[in-house]
Amino acid sequence: MPHSTAIPTTVTIEDVVALVRKYARRSDLDMVWLAYDVANRAHSGQNRKSGEPYIVHPLAAAYILAGMRIDVTIIVAALLHDVPEDTAVTLESIENDFGPDVAGMVRGITKLGKLKYRGAERYIENLRKMFVAMAEDVRVMIIKFADRIHNLTTLGSLEEKKRYRIALESLEIYAPIAHRLGMGEFKGLLEDLSFPYVYPKDFERTKTLRDKLFTDAGNYIDQTLKIVRAELKEAGIHYLDAHGRKKQLYSFYQKLIKKNWEADKIYDIVALRIIVEDIADCYATLGIIHKIWRPLKGRIKDYIAQPKPNGYQSLHTTIFGPDGSVIEFQIRTREMHYEAEFGVAAHWHYDERGVKLPAKDIIWAKELAQVQKDILVNLSDLERLKVDFFRNRIFTFTPKGDVIDLPEDATPVDFAYNVHSEIGNKCAGARVNDQMVSLDTPLQSGDVVEIIVDKNRRGPSQDWLFTVKTNQARSHIKNSIKASRLTSWFKFILPQKKKSSKAV
Ligand code: MN
């Protein structure tokens, strides 16, 4: 069940086919071979900076994706992804050989690759293109991640400046997008491969610290797992897998910074992950764990009933385990596990039974792309981009569970305008997590916000301009005030129609 994307140094087409064979039909394999032939011939004579033949790169990208048991059309597009840009073979001929679907993906990747911008300009342009590509076809991003992950493993052969630029871009742009798409596995790889190039000193410090903690943890992890397995068996709960998961390096680093480098305040350096058949078993397993060990207060999280904004689902609990150790458990179903590892890519993933997971609604990804596009159009410098973009955003929810993505300290008024301009204009009050709050209250991630609308309200209050955080709200408020001033001015100079002025 647990899979890993270990990337071998050199990949052959036989390696890729061996992986694809595990889940695809025999007839699909022909397409993979054909794509390899086309790419291999097109790239022949080309070498990478590392000196290897170029074909090694598309093969590695395809290999990473095949390790995720992903749809064959995506593997084929990955094999061909650099062909139109770097060789004489055209998109038209790819379309003739492989059809419009594969050609469309390759076109999307080629578009992303054609970036001639420098500095901040390039950075923003990059982001914008990525969001456009993502909105058009999320599969393009999935291939782009695999492409970038392989490039990161071979950064060593590039000159230092370029190395830093690519690593930084992966850390600041690619990883957050992978995260937002729920692709935990890719996010982790992008971060951990970039980390040493971007923050070399912190990387060393973090690694030393983590290695020591892992060594210390080894014993009680095995011990704890043994006890849990026995108890689950006794209770008749069939688990598909129970294993220890080591926290990824960069994510450990982020926690360390938050906790002032006090490693003993980090409880999930190793988590124990239990994968069961269904949701009922998730809760039953949680009960069993709490029966054996005492849970830490405030550390029980039900992301099944309330998934994270990127769709992540699991039950988390931290317990006082054997020998006074503190351990986090993560309990989930097989489907939740795939979603957590692959995110949107789970749509194109085949599980061990050869079943494709049900397509989840990915409209939110398109909406997100639109929102980000709007933000980016108004951006002019890198610093603001970094501040505004992913870091300082909060995710709030409508009572129906829709995610509203806002900047930090946004108010219920920002929320209302984000839902609809009319909701904003008619906003009369707000309930946050079932409590009435004033309209200037800063919202927090995870808040459920209900806007109280007064249909008779004339329009927004000018005071709101001092507390709102989004340009969207600000411009709606200004426009609405301007419009109402005009209306009253017209009312003043134009005689009122008899009909409309009813006697009170
Ligand atoms: Mn490439």
Q: Is there a single domain that holds both residue 122 and residue 218?
A: no
Residue with structure tokens 């219920």? 412
Q: Which residues pair with 316 in a beta bridge?
A: 301, 330
Residue 114 CA to ligand 1 centre (angstroms): 12
Would you state the pLDDT for residue 129?
63
Among residues 28, 86, 136, 408, the one annotated as catalytic is 86
Give dist(CA 156, CA 48) in Å, integer: 12
Taking the mean position of all CA atoms in its chain, how far away is CA 120?
Answer: 23
Looking at 197-258, which runs of residues are DSSP E strands? 239-246
Would you state the pLDDT for residue 150?
94
Would you state the pLDDT for residue 322?
80
Instruction: Collect residues with CB below 5 Å from ion ligand 1.
Output: 82, 147
Amino acid making up residue 4: S
Dihedrals φ, ψ of 240, to 5°?
-85, -30
Amino acid making up residue 154: T
Residue 147 CA to ligand 1 centre (angstroms): 5
Q: Identify whether 335 is a catalytic site residue.
A: no
The residues of the chain scoring below 50 in pLDDT are 1-4, 115-120, 357-364, 371, 374-391, 495, 497-504
Q: Is there a single domain that holds both residue 428 and residue 349?
A: no
Give dist(CA 309, CA 446) in Å, integer: 8
Would you state the pLDDT for residue 251?
93
Question: What total number of domains does the chain contain?
Answer: 3
Taking the mean position of all CA atoms in its chain, how far away is CA 288?
Answer: 32
Q: Is there a single domain that holds both residue 189 and residue 207?
A: no
* DSSP conformation class of 70: B
Residue 381 in domain? no
Give dist(CA 133, CA 33) in Å, integer: 27
Would you state the pLDDT for residue 378?
44
Q: What is the pTM of this model?
A: 0.68
Amino acid making up residue 274: I
Q: Is there a single domain that holds both residue 194 and residue 218?
A: no
The CATH number given to whatever domain includes residue 74 is 1.10.3210.10
Q: Is there a single domain that holds both residue 183 and residue 267?
A: no
Would you state the pLDDT for residue 359?
42
Nearest alpha-carbon partner for 275 in 231, 338, 219: 338
Nearest alpha-carbon partner for 184 in 102, 273, 108, 98: 273
Q: Is there a single domain that holds both residue 103 and residue 122?
A: yes
Q: Is there a single domain that holds both residue 351 and residue 462?
A: no
Cβ–Cβ under 8 Å, residues 80 and 38: yes
Looking at 147-305, which runs of residues are DSSP E strands? 239-246, 270-276, 294-295, 301-302
Cβ–Cβ under 8 Å, residues 271 and 327: yes
Q: Identify whether 86 is a catalytic site residue.
A: yes
Give dist(CA 315, CA 278) in Å, integer: 12
Domain limits for position 150: 13-198
Would you state the pLDDT for residue 86?
82
Residue 106 CA to ligand 1 centre (angstroms): 11
Q: Is there a single domain that holds both residue 476 and residue 349?
A: no
Residue 95 in domain? yes
Q: Is there a single domain that holds both residue 188 and residue 230?
A: no
Residue 340 CA to ligand 1 centre (angstroms): 26
Q: Is there a single domain that holds both residue 335 and residue 294?
A: yes
